[in-house]
Structure 1
Amino acid sequence: MTKNSTRLDHVVLWVADPVAAAAFYETAVGLEPIGLAEYAEGEVSFPSVRVNEETILDLAPHSLATRMRMLPGSADSAGHPVNHVCLALPADAFDTLRARLEEHGVPVSGIDPGLSGARGHATRSFYFRDPDGNVFEARHYD
């Protein structure tokens, strides 16, 4: 990991139930929960899930919105998911994720070929929603 270059560190997702959200991301998506026990014990404000060694998704409860004071209007963002978050995966992990989501009854879109992204043109991509309505795209590049 390079600590002195620009990287995506985390994305905060508003969720109704952080424990249920963490369970979804662990079982249906295959991401490792972080801080779940600490959240359950009231030691931290929210749990997270690890996307990779550099990036996590924070699972913030709607009730945390009133404490969002870093910018005017920040509290108003609760319940408004981002348009989508894109996960770039190796081809085998892409296929595994799609099968895993379908196995857990998560609706997935059709396969979209040739979309552009941070690494150029992706070979395939598809979309799915988490239980809170946050939209994810999964893709892989050759």
Structure 2
Amino acid sequence: MTKNTMRFDHLVLWVADPVAAAAFYETAVGLEPMRVAEFAEGKVAFPSIRVNEETILDLAPHSFAPRMTMLPGSVESAGHPVNHVCLSLPGDDFDALRARLEEHGVPVSGIDTGLSGARGDATRSFYFRDPDGNVFEARHYED
């Protein structure tokens, strides 16, 4: 991949409690939290979680909405989750994520096959919600 190739950098999720959300993503999903202590100390506006070396999810508290003034109507977006976020994982990690979610009591959907995505048709996928109602799809493409 070249430096000039467009990439997905981050997505902002509205959450009720960013510290609790970061803990969920760390323990149940297995993602690395970032800037949680700084957020708790009031040094940054929100924490994030790292998906991979190029992509993060920002965990914006609903109280952050008044600062969303970059476009008309941005303030009103608080509390409106996106349809879903899809995470692509290798086979072993896919299985480990599903098991970890079930261990944490997170309801998961059945396994779907052949759903189309960025890399073609996925071998298998399932869906789950975070504590704020944001929907995630986990998928595995044949290696």
Relative to the length of structure 2, the TM-score reads: 0.97
TM superposition shift of 1:5 = 1.8
Gaps of at least 5 residues in structure 1 are: none
Q: Which runs of 4+ in 1 moved over 2 A?
A: 1-4
Counterpart of 2:38? Answer: 38
TM superposition shift of 1:88 = 0.4
Letter in 2 for 1:15: V
TM superposition shift of 1:2 = 4.8
Is it true that 1:19 corresponds to 2:10 in the alignment?
no
Distance in structure 1 (CA, Å) of the matches to 2:7 and 2:73: 26
Letter in 2 for 1:108: V
Is it true that 1:10 corresponds to 2:16 in the alignment?
no
State the identity as a percent. Answer: 84
Residues 3-58 of structure 1: CA deviation (Å, up to 9, x unaligned): 43210000000000000000000000000000011101111000000000000000
TM superposition shift of 1:139 = 0.2
How many residue pairs were aligned? 142
Q: Secondary structure at the match of 1:22?
A: helix
Distance in structure 1 (CA, Å) of the matches to 2:29 and 2:141: 19
Q: Give the aligned CA root-mean-square deviation in angstroms.
A: 0.9
